[in-house]
Amino acid sequence: MTAIITYFNTKNLEVIVACDSLGYSHGKNEKTDKGYLLYQRYFIAIYGPHILSHAIDLLREIESYENIRHPKNIEELCNEIQKIYDITRKGYLENSSDDYLDKEKSCAAIIFDEKTYEFNYVHFGCPFDEKYNGDHWIAPIEEGIEKFALFEQFQIDSVDNDQELLSNTKIWINDKFKELDEILESQIMKAKDGDRIRIGGLGTLYHFKNNKRKLESAFQNLDEILPLISFFK
């Protein structure tokens, strides 16, 4: 379960992408990052079943090799992701229990290209739908504040203000995630044989301004990550 907040200002060329800090798997909420830098050019935040994250992990493993061609734009990047996604999707379908094959779940990504300044939403569809055809579609992200993933399902009544976000970015975003989590607590039952599905506070934070990038992790140090290693075996 993921929540993402974006801010886009084309006049000042400023981009903010913030993800919540918790991922849910095997009945547990675990701290995680949900945004990544690819090819020292594309920032990508993802949500949905773990299929998409596997595609991103593979691209991150090969991106440093000079003899492997880099995608020239977001469309080419998405085509590469789609190829890996379709393979990992098959394995996910074969090895997951019915509880995880929810036909209402979709995979999507928020991608910003630091070279062309394109800022797009990319929808990879519902991987468990019988009508899945292996296609994706790309749409530009609007200026100002936008919200994605769980924010699209559960509306927060408070009004968003660009200046409040920019003047106190981390606190403003954290408050929005907390508001959403309170709504989830009141509307979503405890997961079967596990924790209540939650979102965390501010996790991955990407800020691009004056052609400079600032990227922060949900984790503060290696010691926070070490206890999670056995979880992924």
All residues at 6 or more sequence positions from 120 whose CB lies less than 8 Å from its CB, including other chains: 74, 110, 111, 112, 138, 139, 140, 141
pLDDT at site 120: 98
Count of domains observed in the chain: 1
**Ramachandran angles phi, psi of 78, nearest 5°:** -65, -35
- Other CB atoms closer than 10 Å to residue 225's CB: what's the count? 15
pTM, two decimal places: 0.89
Domain range for 179 is 3-232
More confident residue, 154 or 57: 57
> Is the pLDDT assigned to residue 1 strictly greater than 80?
no
Token pair of 78, please? 């998405």
Tell me the average pLDDT of the chain: 86
What mean pLDDT is predicted for residues 140-152? 92
Determine the Cα–Cα distance for residues 16 and 7; give it in Å rounded to an integer: 5
Percent of the chain at pLDDT above 70? Answer: 88
When mean pLDDT is compared across 59-68, 140-149, 219-228, the lowest value belongs to 219-228
pLDDT at site 232: 47
What is the CATH classification number for the domain harbouring 159? 3.60.20
More confident residue, 144 or 29: 144
More confident residue, 218 or 111: 111
Q: pLDDT per residue over 149-159, tens digit each?
A: 888 887 776 77
Q: pLDDT per residue over 95-107, tens digit each?
A: 666 655 666 678 8
